Amino acid sequence: MNIPDKITVEVTEEDIALGKPQSSSYCPIARAARRALEPFLSEGELAELRAGYLYLKVPAHWSEPGWIAPGSDTIGYDTPEDAYAFMNKLDSGDDVAPSTFTFSRTKGVKI
């Protein structure tokens, strides 16, 4: 499986309307990130995704030297500052607008 080094996450009006504030697994960014990663995953391979510290919980059979240690079950992405600001506004009850964020893969880190 070829997981990208960077993912572009486009949060839509629908993500904002249906996402759950203060829920790292179901917030608008987590919804949009799932959609952005779908082309890279096989059916059912995305077990868990959390946006506050974006990581994927993946099947144990995945392993990439230098990225995921054998037996590790997570792939991490650095969360950009503008995504944190978006989440903080949303969690505080402030209005947010559709936005685009780029997450970069964290090399060799198990979160």
Q: What is the pTM of this model?
A: 0.75
pLDDT at 73: 56
For 3-50, the pLDDT digits (tens) are: 778 889 999 999 999 999 988 778 898 889 888 887 876 665 554 566
Task: Kindly state whether residue 18 falls inside one of the protein's structural domains.
Answer: yes
**Which structural domain, as residue segments, surrounds residue 62?**
6-105
CB atoms closer than 10 angstroms to residue 80:
15
- 1: in domain: no
- Per-residue model confidence as pLDDT tens digits over 87-98: 889 999 999 999
Q: Residue 90 has what pLDDT?
A: 93
DSSP state of 100: E
pLDDT tens across 51-70, in order? 555 655 555 544 554 444 44
Number of domains in the chain: 1
66 within a domain of the structure (yes/no)? yes
pLDDT over 70 percentage in the chain: 61
Identify which of 70, 67, 73 has the alpha carbon closest to the alpha carbon of residue 105: 67
